Structure 1
């Protein structure tokens, strides 16, 4: 028998209406935060960032693909990785289909990673993705936007991520075979935990106006929760995120066949 609270349909409706009031308040708060986000001052981008794309060498302006707005997903895929970060891959599974819709609303969505383009495109083919993906291996873009860090920064504990200096971490911890999410995801990415930690997830927004490019917004860490398309669904499932056992997701082609449970076993 379930240990969860049960009740009548009338009990459920009363509780649901209370929840509806809370959900509406959260929606209004989210709208207010979105307005605050869009009111941030724009900062002109003066550096000539260079990228390698499927079409060849490109500047930041070229990533806009003729549109006025650019959203960049900082995808964790370092030069020494053999596969993309599983968490970033899960997020990319969620936005792969929407980039076409955004493109028809004056917004280009692209992923950018530090790995060379051939690695990015091999993994892109494996995953069956269609969104644009650029390599920033030829510029400081990843480092300037806090998506990549050098080994020297890591060794010296000089990593500023999510707008604050991180507490010093043991970059040697979590080598393959050790416990923890970072060691697990490092192995899935084909690298060691120290190298994995030098790449970080995030997103940045830019606008092009009157011949100039401005940086308007960046978000990292838990600020990325809203674009994990999996989580809004899990938050509405009966057991919620149900992650007490630690990280459970994989590259989507690396899951074992799901166990199919039937209702007949108890009545056979």
Structure 2
């Protein structure tokens, strides 16, 4: 049986409207409970203590810049620590794909916040990569700073999300996540998870016969991102 045949066979049972509505209502109870739990998690996050940071100097498109000045006058800062491998033409597809989503960030301004990328790559290389893949975020380099390593994103290490609060020239680290914790920043997985076949990855709990492939097999590669969103993209 071909993959196309498998996909055609992978259909939910067909029922009458009343049965569909009853099962949807049962699911809605769990969905609403999850929403309330996320609200409770966010409330706990707002009550986290914070840690004061030493002064760091990063490098942006205009040269060296203090971490406190990366806020550009705002009080809150989200940083995506983008993986970087110096010998690679194409960087992490997950980082490249996730951050390609953020083309309009002005909505953060009323919240006194900013969202930027920090990477271990030298700034000229980082900006060239940004252009190649069509990224629209502001990039900074921590290649000559301990900032990335101190924020759990060391050279040749993983990705991370960190959040900071500024009080004058003092900067505090308030929150950190990595791994699947970064999914909450994305709109891609929430959309895909609404689909009857979901992410179609082998680790997921699905009905018998549902199409499933290796994890990451359907993700855009960095080359795909560049082809779609880069300067020569569609």
Corresponding residue of 2:114: 108
For the aligned residue pairs, the C-alpha RMSD in angstroms reads 1.8
Alignment of 1:1-268 (within 5 A): 2=10, 4-45=12-53, 47-94=54-101, 96-148=102-154, 198-244=156-202, 245-246=213-214, 247-248=216-217, 249-251=219-221, 253-254=223-224
CA shift in 2, pair 1:8/1:39, >3 Å: same
The CA deviation string for residues 146-172 of structure 1, in whole angstroms up to 9 with x for no partner, is 1115xxxxxxxxxxxxxxxxxxxxxxx
Give the superposition deviation at 1:253: 4.6
Give the superposition deviation at 1:115: 0.5
The CA deviation string for residues 48-78 of structure 1, in whole angstroms up to 9 with x for no partner, is 2111101211010111011110000011113
Corresponding residue of 1:262: none
In 2, are the aligned partners of 1:50 and 1:60 still within 8 Å (CA)? yes
Unmatched 5+ stretches in structure 2:
1-8, 203-212, 228-234
CA shift in 2, pair 1:134/1:202, >3 Å: same
Give the superposition deviation at 1:3: 5.2
SS at 2:136 equivalent: coil
- Looking at structure 1, the residues matched to 11 and 114 of structure 2 have their Cα atoms a distance apart, in angstroms, of 48
Count of aligned residue pairs for this structure pair? 206
- Looking at structure 1, the residues matched to 10 and 91 of structure 2 have their Cα atoms a distance apart, in angstroms, of 40
Give the superposition deviation at 1:105: 2.5
Give the superposition deviation at 1:40: 0.6
- Looking at structure 2, the residues matched to 145 and 130 of structure 1 have their Cα atoms a distance apart, in angstroms, of 23
SS at 2:176 equivalent: strand
Unmatched 5+ stretches in structure 1:
150-197, 258-268
In 2, are the aligned partners of 1:43 and 1:216 still within 8 Å (CA)? yes
